[in-house]
């Protein structure tokens, strides 16, 4: 059976499910095949299983129901219960390297949770991971309490070091020195500050003194607890007068507004829920105007059972059309605000964004040395989407590259630049009038890091006229024409790239692919010895990341070009941590079919193999033979690629583009790209429907490519 970890609570309401989510992601990043099970059900819905299905694409088996458990315990039949637990865990752990088992959390009236968890620990021969959540206790008190819990499992008595996790640790010590503890999402304007190094060390020292190994210390982060407006509406039983974006907007601040409009306006911040009596039409109108001027309020909650006048609502309709939710309750303002502050912090089972952010935040806190020690080296690790994204960010950070964003006044681009800059993914350069960039950022509630660069295109362009004329003189470029060309920020950014002032360029949020690529082909050109520019998409399937090429650039490549695309894509795959096994796709596998298109793929396969004998390349292969082991055994039993391909080369743009979009949309798969290959310096295009996250990861891809280009130049 897989290496088994039992994650169990050392106290009440410590967030065991949250820690399990983060642990699964941390192990996934290391390439481990992880399974999860909660063998014994909690009262109510199986939230743990639902959250794992949502955030980790796992399919844990249904837990043993509580009446069955209690009947067996009452009869003293522990063995039958554990036999069922072991069978369930074996079912969950099929083909897994590591099994994460969520222990039973104590509930009101329950006196057997620790005993049952101890039985599970022994039955599975599992490694124990205890979870605690400090409130106001000193580090030594916390460590002592966890040690008592560990003794209850017999682990410390057996001389073992017990792993433990501290969850939701406040960033400051006890009340008195820093005022009241902030313990609720409604108090959190931003993510909680990092734990001071002295505070971290104090906890570690206290735990180690008790023979406990701290494998993660997770700070309290109010931002991660921010509920959606629809969650709050459900919790309060509020009437939804205007739904707007209630299923997406998150409440990060709560403002009780009963004062005059000038004073109330101070509370109008991005993510604020405005609570006001239903007859305060002035506050409602002012909040709507704030939304129309660019401040994304979370929503408005009207109290007292009072409904606004229909004419007033009519004046606010444009704000509602822009997504502002409007809720109403019968309670007066103060009781309503108290009810909001007391909202349940549990993650809803349909909140994919919050699950993903929580998993990532907790995974970041796990000791990588410990998680790696859990891996079994019997299997070549696969690269899962979370692991791929994590590797992208870490590799980009290490490169410290300067990336220019010509669409510097575009809202998504500004938000992405702020994230990339603050996370150290790249040093971002926004091209746009500084005042306009600042205003767009302000309206979105985006705080631009002081280190981010903003370049005014009008002021910068004259400096590039002569260099552009020099590069395009053979094409008849004049200074007047160059000045006109440099009025386009993409051309300006391309010149900055050509002169080595930046390391890469990302554009396309509001421009076509041709608009983004054309200046680069004219000025930057291709890698020496390469005449072809192609592209790949990184397809983030639930189990692993695959590479699709070329789905964006070359309409009908020749056999020679197809071989080049295969080699470029294999090199890109390897550069991004995906071991390339290249499938040259066709409607025929091997010699099962005939025709001009099949012959082209066969010729391309032979050329690619001859040029790069170090690569595993096979074709022609049908898609199912390339990806499904059982089909591969029938259609291509001798192939080293069939059934386990990681790089898929399509015979033409029509096939590739249709297939990647079909997979993306039908299977709800995230696709990163297109990433261009073959350029001397990296230039990457965005989809005009891209999200902020897409831009962030494209910046990371570009930064990594910039490092590869620099390495080529030095070779």
Q: What is the pLDDT of residue 173?
A: 61
- Domain end, chosen from 490, 523, 556, is at 523
When pLDDT is averaged across residues 281-303 and rounded to a whole number, the result is 94
Q: What is the pLDDT of residue 158?
A: 53
Within-domain flag for 685: no
Q: Which residues pair with 37 in a beta bridge?
A: 101
- For every residue of 123-170, DSSP letters joined together read HHTPEEEEEE--SS--HHHHHHHHHHHHHHTTTTTTTPPEEEEEEEE-
The CATH code of the domain that includes 397 is 3.40.50.10950
Cα–chain center distance at 439: 27
pLDDT at 327 over 80: yes
The CATH code of the domain that includes 588 is 3.40.50.10750
Cα–chain center distance at 47: 21
Q: What is the pLDDT of residue 28?
A: 93
Q: What is the pLDDT of residue 704?
A: 93
Note the pLDDT tens digit of each residue in 51-83: 999 999 899 999 999 899 999 999 888 878 888
Q: What is the pLDDT of residue 487?
A: 93
Q: Are residues 331 and 401 in the same domain?
A: no
- For every residue of 364-381, DSSP letters joined together read TTB-HHHHHHT--TTSPP
Q: Are residues 601 and 651 in the same domain?
A: yes
Q: Are 211 and 162 in contact (CB under 8 A)?
A: yes
Q: Are residues 629 and 519 in the same domain?
A: no
**Alpha-carbon torsion angle 164, 168, 173, 176, nearest 10:** -140
Q: What is the pLDDT of residue 176?
A: 40
Q: For residues 227 and 513, what is the distance between their CA atoms, to the nearest angstrom?
A: 37
Instruction: Quote the Cα angle for 308-314-316, to 5°.
Output: 80
Q: Which residue has the higher pLDDT, 534 or 714?
A: 534
Which residues lie below 8 Å from residue 372, measured CB to CB, with a gap of 6+?
A: 30
- Residue range(s) defining the domain that contains residue 463: 386-523
Q: For residues 128 and 507, what is the distance between their CA atoms, to the nearest angstrom?
A: 49
Confidence of residue 212 (pLDDT cuts 50, 70, 90): very high
pLDDT at 590 over 90: no
Q: Are residues 240 and 206 in the same domain?
A: no
The CATH code of the domain that includes 73 is 3.40.50.300
Note the pLDDT tens digit of each residue in 483-540: 999 999 999 999 999 999 999 999 998 998 888 889 998 999 888 877 899 999 999 8
In the DSSP assignment, the letter for residue 415 is H
Which own/partner pairs from 40-44 qualify as long-range (CB within 8 Å, at least 24 positions apart)? 40/64, 40/66, 40/69, 40/85, 40/104, 40/116, 41/65, 41/66, 41/69, 42/66, 42/104, 42/105, 42/107, 43/107
Within-domain flag for 710: no
When pLDDT is averaged across residues 435-464 and rounded to a whole number, the result is 94
Q: Is the dihedral of CA 290, 292, 294, 298 positive or negative?
A: positive
Confidence of residue 196 (pLDDT cuts 50, 70, 90): confident
- Domain end, chosen from 523, 546, 575, is at 523
**CA proximity to 678, closest of 548, 578, 567:** 567
Within-domain flag for 327: yes
Take residue 458 and report the two structure tokens written for it.
């009008």
Instruction: Quote the Cα angle for 354-365-95, to 5°.
Output: 80
Note the pLDDT tens digit of each residue in 365-422: 999 999 999 886 544 556 777 778 888 888 899 999 999 999 999 999 999 999 999 9
Cα–Cα distances (Å) from 458 to 421, 436, 439, 669, in that order, read 24, 13, 18, 40
Q: What is the pLDDT of residue 189?
A: 37
Q: What is the pLDDT of residue 181?
A: 28
Strands 545-549 and 581-585: unpaired
Q: At what angle do helices 465-472 and 513-523 cross, to 10 degrees?
A: 80
Q: Are residues 136 and 211 in the same domain?
A: yes
When pLDDT is averaged across residues 596-621 and rounded to a whole number, the result is 94
When pLDDT is averaged across residues 292-316 and rounded to a whole number, the result is 93
Within-domain flag for 694: no
Q: How much of the chain exceeds pLDDT 90, in percent?
A: 60
**Looking at the chain, how many residues does it have?**
715
Q: Which residue has the higher pLDDT, 342 or 174?
A: 342
Within-domain flag for 378: no
Q: What is the pLDDT of residue 1?
A: 63
Q: What is the pLDDT of residue 223?
A: 76
Q: Are residues 270 and 296 in the same domain?
A: yes
Q: What is the pLDDT of residue 184?
A: 47
- Domain end, chosen from 471, 489, 523, is at 523
Q: Are 367 and 274 in contact (CB under 8 A)?
A: no
Q: Are residues 201 and 276 in the same domain?
A: no
Q: Are 534 and 572 in contact (CB under 8 A)?
A: no
Note the pLDDT tens digit of each residue in 89-143: 989 988 888 999 999 988 777 778 888 999 898 888 889 999 999 988 899 999 9
Confidence of residue 44 (pLDDT cuts 50, 70, 90): low
Question: For 338-426, where are the E strands, in sequence order?
Answer: 402-405
Q: What is the pLDDT of residue 318?
A: 95
Q: What is the pLDDT of residue 224?
A: 82
Q: Are residues 365 and 414 in the same domain?
A: no
In the DSSP assignment, the letter for residue 80 is H
**CA proximity to 338, closest of 275, 287, 252:** 275
Note the pLDDT tens digit of each residue in 142-191: 999 999 999 888 755 455 678 999 999 887 665 443 333 233 444 443 34
What average pLDDT is seen over the chain? 88
Q: Are residues 314 and 449 in the same domain?
A: no
Confidence of residue 666 (pLDDT cuts 50, 70, 90): confident
When pLDDT is averaged across residues 559-587 and rounded to a whole number, the result is 93
Among the residue ranges 177-186, 199-208, 640-649, the one predicted with the least confidence is 177-186
Within-domain flag for 715: no
When pLDDT is averaged across residues 636-641 and rounded to a whole number, the result is 91
Take residue 350 and report the two structure tokens written for it.
């349909």
Q: Are 683 and 524 in contact (CB under 8 A)?
A: yes
**Cβ neighbours, 10 Å, residue 579:** 15
Within-domain flag for 690: no
Q: Are residues 254 and 138 in the same domain?
A: no
When pLDDT is averaged across residues 264-274 and rounded to a whole number, the result is 91
The CATH code of the domain that includes 255 is 3.40.1390.20
Q: Are residues 105 and 218 in the same domain?
A: yes
Q: Are residues 556 and 430 in the same domain?
A: no
Q: Is the dihedral of CA 201, 207, 209, 211 positive or negative?
A: negative
Number of domains in the chain: 4
Q: What is the pLDDT of residue 228?
A: 93
Within-domain flag for 52: yes
**CA proximity to 148, closest of 90, 205, 210:** 210
Note the pLDDT tens digit of each residue in 305-320: 988 889 999 999 999 9
């Amino acid at each position: 059976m897989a290496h088994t970890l039992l994650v169990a609570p050392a106290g009440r309401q410590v967030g065991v499910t949250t820690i399990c989510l983060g642990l699964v992601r941390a192990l996934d990043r290391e390439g481990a095949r992880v399974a999860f099970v909660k063998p014994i059900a909690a009262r109510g819905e199986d939230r743990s299983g639902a959250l794992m299905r949502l955030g980790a694409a796992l399919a844990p088996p249904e837990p043993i129901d509580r009446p069955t458990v209690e009947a067996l315990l009452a009869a003293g039949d522990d063995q039958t219960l554990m036999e069922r637990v072991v069978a369930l865990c074996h079912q969950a752990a099929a083909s897994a390297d590591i099994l994460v088992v969520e222990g039973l959390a104590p509930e009101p009236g329950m006196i057997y949770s620790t005993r049952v968890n101890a039985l599970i620990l022994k039955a599975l021969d599992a490694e124990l991971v205890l979870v605690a959540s400090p409130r106001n206790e000193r580090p030594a008190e916390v460590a002592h309490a966890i040690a008592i819990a560990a003794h209850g499992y017999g682990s410390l008595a057996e001389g073992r070091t017990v792993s433990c996790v501290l969850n939701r640790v406040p960033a400051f010590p006890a009340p008195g020195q820093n005022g009241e503890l902030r313990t609720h999402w409604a108090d959190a304007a931003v993510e909680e500050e990092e734990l001071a190094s002295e505070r971290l060390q104090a906890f570690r020292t206290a735990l180690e003194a008790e023979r406990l190994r701290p494998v993660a210390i997770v700070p309290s982060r109010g931002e991660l607890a921010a509920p959606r407006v629809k969650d709050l509406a459900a919790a309060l039983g509020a009437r939804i007068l205007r739904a707007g974006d209630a299923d997406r907007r998150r409440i990060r601040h709560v403002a009780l507004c009963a004062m005059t409009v000038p004073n109330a306006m101070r509370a109008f911040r991005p993510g604020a829920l405005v609570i006001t009596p239903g007859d305060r039409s002035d506050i409602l109108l002012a909040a709507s105007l704030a939304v129309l001027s660019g401040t994304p309020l979370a929503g408005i909650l009207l109290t007292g059972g009072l409904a606004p006048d229909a004419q007033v609502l009519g004046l606010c309709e444009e704000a509602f059309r822009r997504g502002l939710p409007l809720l109403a309750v019968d309670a007066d303002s103060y009781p309503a605000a108290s009810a909001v502050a007391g909202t349940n912090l549990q993650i809803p089972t349909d909140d994919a964004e919050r699950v993903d952010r929580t998993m990532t935040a907790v995974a970041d806190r796990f000791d990588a040395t410990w998680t790696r020690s859990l891996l079994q080296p019997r299997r070549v690790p696969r690269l899962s989407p979370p692991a791929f994204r994590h590797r992208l960010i870490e590799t980009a950070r290490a490169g410290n590259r300067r990336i220019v964003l010509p669409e510097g006044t575009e809202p998504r681009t500004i938000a992405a630049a702020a994230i990339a800059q603050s996370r150290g993914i790249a040093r971002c350069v926004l091209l746009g009038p500084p005042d306009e960039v600042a205003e767009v950022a302000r309206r979105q509630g985006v705080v631009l890091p002081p280190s981010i660069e903003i370049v005014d295109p009008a002021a910068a362009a004259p400096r590039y006229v002569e260099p552009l004329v020099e590069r395009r003189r053979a094409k008849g470029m004049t200074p007047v024409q160059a000045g006109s060309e440099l009025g386009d920020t993409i051309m300006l950014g391309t010149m900055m790239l050509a002169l080595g002032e930046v390391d890469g360029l990302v554009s396309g949020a509001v421009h076509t692919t041709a608009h983004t690529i054309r200046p680069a082909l004219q000025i930057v050109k291709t890698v020496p010895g390469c005449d072809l520019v192609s592209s790949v998409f990184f397809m983030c399937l639930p189990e692993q990341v695959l590479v699709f090429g070329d789905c964006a650039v070359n309409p009908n490549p020749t056999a020679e070009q197809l071989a080049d695309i295969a080699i470029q894509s294999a090199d890109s795959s390897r550069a991004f941590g995906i071991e390339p096994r290249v499938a040259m796709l066709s409607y025929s596998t091997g010699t099962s079919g005939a025709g001009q298109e099949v012959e082209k793929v066969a010729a391309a396969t032979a050329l690619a193999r001859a040029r790069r004998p170090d690569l595993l390349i096979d074709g022609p292969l049908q898609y199912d033979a390339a990806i499904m082991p059982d089909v591969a055994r029938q259609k291509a039993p001798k192939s080293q690629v069939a059934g386990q391909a990681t790089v898929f080369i399509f015979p033409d743009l029509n096939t590739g583009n249709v297939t990647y979009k079909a997979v993306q949309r039908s299977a709800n798969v995230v696709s990163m790209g297109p990433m261009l290959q073959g350029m001397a310096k990296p230039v990457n295009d965005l989809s005009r429907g891209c999200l902020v996250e897409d831009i962030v990861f494209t910046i990371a891809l570009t930064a990594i490519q910039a490092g590869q280009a620099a390495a080529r130049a030095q070779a």
